Amino acid sequence: MLSPTQLQIYLDVATEAVLAGGAVLQNYWGNLKDIQEKGRSGDLVTEADKASEQVVLEVLHRHVPDHRILTEESGALGNLDSELLWAIDPLDGTTNYAHQYPCYAVSVGLLVQGVPQVGAIFDPSHQELFRAARGLGATCNRRPIRVSQTQDLSRSLLVTGFAYDRRDTPDTNYAEFCYLTHLTQGVRRSGSAALDLAAVACGRMDGYWERGLSPWDITAGIVLVEEAGGKVTAYDESPVQISSGRILATNGWLHSSLSDRLLQVPNLAEWQ
């Protein structure tokens, strides 16, 4: 694994990258001319996604040219033999952005041998920069952040999201959304997995779960939550598998109870 000095260097690289991407998104805000679907209904891509990705890649190519890169728009790039993999989402929340709903972010995370080690997320609308590296803590605008202290699921506020293939598969979390809405003080849906994880990390949300995710959606956020004192696993509390697309992240206090509840919910197709 990496030394604290190396982690700090890569955290600074990730920070430079998300800020550069965020500046591009701010320039395109309200001026989009090319909004397309990427094969699945509702899965949008715009010229802003592509332009943001370009500047993020420029930063990484300049600082870490020998590393592997995985991006939402361009796929696998760089040195495919490297054990260091950068997972990039140049615009997390494209649908929000295309509708000028100010909930979107740039997310850059680093995995070392498949384990998230560094993460930076920038929310241009609110000028919030979230940063974390393994063993170095988590911050928002350079100030330390911690997860909430909520210990009772009935007093919690949760957040989730719905996958782009929700129209085509019975494997959705609609049932979970309804069920947990009744058991908690509410369940929100922001449309940005990166910002959902950041919200758990800084104590605005007590827990988050979702399926149908990609590595670029969650790598940075996983580091944030864990460094802020929270817990991240699979639904059943086994170690999270980045490739599975499923994640459960909480303040730690609620983790087992939320896991238990999630596993109790029947698939919506089984409801009468």
Instruction: Match 């009935």 to its residue by tokens.
Output: 154
- What rounded mean pLDDT belongs to the chain? 91
Which strands, in side-by-side order, build the sheet including 247-250?
A: 187-189, 158-160, 207-210, 247-250, 231-233
Residue 182, pLDDT > 80, answer yes
Contact 162, 196 (CB under 8 A): no
How confident is the model at residue 223, as a pLDDT? 98
d(CA 156, CA 150): 6
Phi and psi (nearest 5°) for 143? Answer: -105, 140
- Is the pLDDT at 1 greater than 80, yes or no? no
Q: Residue 268: its pLDDT value, please?
A: 61
Q: Is the pLDDT of residue 166 over 60?
A: no
The pLDDT of residue 126 is above 90: yes
pTM: 0.92
Note the pLDDT of residue 80: 87
Domains in the chain with CATH codes: 4-144 (3.30.540.10), 153-270 (3.40.190.80)
What would the mean pLDDT of 55-68 be, rounded to a whole number? Answer: 96
> What confidence score (pLDDT) does residue 72 get?
82
Q: How confident is the model at residue 169 (pLDDT cuts 50, 70, 90)?
A: low
Q: What is the pLDDT of residues 28-52, one digit of tens each?
A: 898 877 776 665 555 667 888 899 9
pLDDT on residue 75: 87
Retrieve residue 39's tokens.
């094969």
Quickly state the pLDDT bin for 192 (edges 50, 70, 90).
very high
What is the Cα–Cα distance from 53 to 107, expressed in whole angstroms?
A: 10
Separation CA 259–CA 21 (nearest Å): 35
93-115 confidence digits (pLDDT tens): 999 999 999 999 999 999 999 99
Average pLDDT, stretch 139-168? 90
- Please give the Cα distance from 144 to 176 (Å, whole number): 32
Measured CA to CA in angstroms, residue 179 lies from 144, 161, 162 at distances of: 33, 14, 15
pLDDT (mean) for 163-172: 63
Q: How far apart are CA 230 and CA 249, in angstroms?
A: 7
Residue 31 to residue 35: CA distance in whole angstroms: 11
Per the CB < 8 A criterion, the answer to whether 205 and 180 are in contact is: no
Q: Rounded to 10 degrees, what is the CA torsion of 51, 54, 55, 59? A: 170
**Digit-coded pLDDT (tens) for 249-272:** 999 999 999 999 999 887 665 654
